[in-house]
Amino acid sequence: MNFLVTKNSRKVRSSRWLALGAAIGIILLTAPRLARSDNFVFYFPKSHSILVTKRYGGVQYLPVLKILNLFGQVGGQKKKRKSLEVWLNSTHIQFRQNNPNVRLNHSRLRLQQPVRVIDGEWMVPVDFVTSILPTIVNQTVEYQQGENRIFVGGLRPNSFTLHMTPLQEGAQLTIQFTGPVNLRTAAQNGKWILYLGSHPVEPLQSEFQFHNPYVAQVKFDDHDGQPKLIVTPAEPGLDFFPKLGEGAKVIVANILTPGATAAAQVPAPSAAAISSTPQPAQATPPTPSPAPAAIPALAPNSSLPAVVLDAGHGGTDIGAQGKDGLLEKNLTLQLVAQAQKALEATGKYRVVLTRNGDVNVGFDQRAAEANFASPIAFISFHAGDMGPSTPRVMVYSYRPSSPLAMAPEPDAKSIFVNWDRVQLRYMGQSSRLAVDLQRDLERTTKVATTPPMEVPVKVLESIAAPAVAIEVGSLDPNSNSSALTNPPFQKEIGAAVVAAIEQLQGGQ
Ligand SMILES: [Zn+2]
């Protein structure tokens, strides 16, 4: 999957190669694939669209009919050799070739540059999007001069600041966003890519160069409509530990010499949960060296090992529903609360929740919050249709949907976390945790259980820790769900969670 070069931008480049001749073509062919594209992204409150720009006499142009089509049905158009008339909603718009004046009904507006017909397509200079478009579509349009993106309809993009802090054997990037982002990682051409989710980002600065032995450059890119940061390491073979925290508003990424653990470099947050060393939180010695700046503060008791509890579903995603109207999203919150209480009562663990209250949380966001905590375990709670006998409990751990996904990672030496694959490293520990948890559930709830199953559970896929899902049932339109909301039953599940975590900690 290559998100970084769209078909359209390729087409533009290839026609340019033909025009410029083979010699220059070869140079362009060897240019990095992440080169600046000619895409222009229109961000709407719930979607985005990409148009390809063209240059004419040093001026950037956009296809005007395609722009108007993004905002409504073009009611009619009359194309002549020298003029174009368009009807959109109640507006009659007239463009003239090589003329900067545009007629809107009976008024006349002026562009900074003339309208052109380029390769047979009517094109307007980019200033059209701020000088004329808002009047036609009656919506606010925000555009930062020189950028290839606009925000329509009062959409507030996130912006961010970035700091680099040198570490003993690496560097730490701290990226502070103005609003929550998602985080999904990938690697391409020796660079690390941090996908930031679908909410648009407007960078105050889009390229950061460093004179540092670990990180050479960080670049913001969204020319495919996917906001992302591209991190170029100063040399190959370094390890990369990105994490998302602080209400999903801060990304901290450690770039380290292989073998150097982040925990030894900085007091917190430790990234050692994604190395192969078990139980990083306990193994971390107190660090006497002064703390580098810009490390996000962690919750109190952050020295305790973290257990992440994930209440499935939430917000508009209600999950399953019982005969008496019990919703899975509410039941999972109850189960999480009981397990949290039981874990905290031991005084040995700190609980991190992926969801607080009745809100929608995406899989990536759950994984990002979880991985930021460097947890010793991740437990997701669900409820569903499990047939006529109730209550019942099932435990699942992760298996990829296709055996191909089990193939070794391209660079097996690197412990870079590619989020599509990270749970693969924990499958053994996860299935052991599932076996323990199932046995403990059977013991505490006295409910007959079946052996854990390995299935492609999406929410477990990107978790950098031993991870399991518990499903209780039956929650379906034909079953009475009172057995599932019964407080003793929920407490027994909490007790089983504690027992399984204790075994995980005790018996490596
Ligand atoms: Zn569910």
Instruction: Write the pLDDT tens digit of every residue in 162-180.
Output: 988 888 888 999 999 999 9
**Rounded distance between C-alpha atoms, residue 393 and residue 469, angstroms:** 10
Q: How would residue 293 be classed by pLDDT, with cut points 50, 70 and 90?
A: very low
> pLDDT tens across 401-433, in order?
776 555 555 444 444 556 777 888 899 999 999
110 occurs within a structural domain: yes
Residues in the chain: 508
- What's the pLDDT score for residue 183? 87
149 occurs within a structural domain: no
Rounded alpha-carbon distances, angstroms, from residue 114 to 58, 96, 111, 276, 490? 13, 8, 7, 61, 70
**Rounded distance between C-alpha atoms, residue 34 and residue 32, angstroms:** 5
pLDDT of residue 33 exceeding 50, the answer is no
Residues 89 and 184 in one domain: no
Residue 207: exposed, middle, or buried by beta-carbon count in 10 A (0-12, 13-18, 19+)?
A: exposed
Residues 164 and 136 in one domain: no
pLDDT of residue 22 exceeding 50, the answer is no
**Rounded distance between C-alpha atoms, residue 333 and residue 329, angstroms:** 7
More confident residue, 303 or 335: 335
Q: How far is the CA of 386 from the centre of ligand 1 (A)?
A: 12
Q: How many domains does the chain have?
A: 3
Q: Residue 160 belongs to what H/E stretch?
A: strand 160-167
**Residue span of the structural domain in which 262 resides:** 160-268
Residues 128 and 176 in one domain: no
- What's the pLDDT score for residue 407? 55
Q: How far is the CA of 355 from the centre of ligand 1 (A)?
A: 14
Residues 447 and 370 in one domain: yes
More confident residue, 300 or 339: 339
- What's the pLDDT score for residue 154? 85
DSSP string, 269-333: S--GGGSS-S-HHHHPPPP-SPPPS-PPPPPTTTTSPEEEEEE--BTTB---B-TT--BHHHHHH
- What's the pLDDT score for residue 7? 30
Tokens of 292: 């580098």
Query: 284 near 263, Cβ under 8 Å?
Result: yes
Which domain-ending residue is among 242, 268, 294?
268
pLDDT of residue 195 exceeding 90, the answer is yes
- What's the pLDDT score for residue 403? 66
More confident residue, 35 or 299: 299
Q: How far is the CA of 235 from the centre of ligand 1 (A)?
A: 43
Q: How far is the CA of 319 from the centre of ligand 1 (A)?
A: 5
282 occurs within a structural domain: no
Query: 375 near 273, Cβ under 8 Å?
Result: yes
464 occurs within a structural domain: yes
Residues 226 and 310 in one domain: no
More confident residue, 267 or 492: 492
Which domain-ending residue is among 222, 246, 268?
268
Examine residue 391 and say whether the peptide bond preceding it is cis (omega within 30 degrees of 0).
yes
Residues 213 and 344 in one domain: no
Q: How far is the CA of 200 from the centre of ligand 1 (A)?
A: 29
Q: What is the CATH number of the domain that holds 115?
A: 3.30.457.10
Q: How far is the CA of 318 from the centre of ligand 1 (A)?
A: 9
Residues 200 and 313 in one domain: no
132 occurs within a structural domain: yes
The closest of 464, 413, 367, 62 to 259, measured between CA atoms, is: 413
Q: How far is the CA of 271 from the centre of ligand 1 (A)?
A: 29
- What's the pLDDT score for residue 158? 92
- What's the pLDDT score for residue 261? 57
Q: Name every residue whose Cβ is closer than 8 Å to that of residue 254 and which is 6 or more positions away in sequence.
A: 167, 170, 171, 172, 173, 239, 240, 241, 262, 265, 266, 271
Q: How far is the CA of 317 from the centre of ligand 1 (A)?
A: 9
- What's the pLDDT score for residue 94? 95
Q: What is the CATH number of the domain that holds 451?
A: 3.40.630.40
Q: How far is the CA of 384 from the centre of ligand 1 (A)?
A: 6
Residues 361 and 455 in one domain: yes
Residues 358 and 436 in one domain: yes
**Rounded distance between C-alpha atoms, residue 159 and residue 205, angstroms:** 9
Residue 70: exposed, middle, or buried by beta-carbon count in 10 A (0-12, 13-18, 19+)?
A: middle
> pLDDT tens across 116-158, in order?
999 999 999 999 999 999 988 888 898 888 889 999 988 889 9
Residues 387 and 324 in one domain: yes
Q: How would residue 260 be classed by pLDDT, with cut points 50, 70 and 90?
A: low
Give residue 201's Cα distance to chain centre.
13
- What's the pLDDT score for residue 103? 95
40 occurs within a structural domain: no
What is the residue whose two structure tokens read 């192969």? 276
pLDDT of residue 8 exceeding 80, the answer is no
**Rounded distance between C-alpha atoms, residue 121 and residue 102, angstroms:** 17
> pLDDT tens across 85-111, in order?
999 888 899 999 999 999 999 899 999
497 occurs within a structural domain: yes
Residues 392 and 496 in one domain: yes
The closest of 96, 141, 89, 104 to 123, measured between CA atoms, is: 96
70 occurs within a structural domain: yes
Residues 136 and 168 in one domain: no
Q: What is the CATH number of the domain that holds 222?
A: 2.60.40.3470
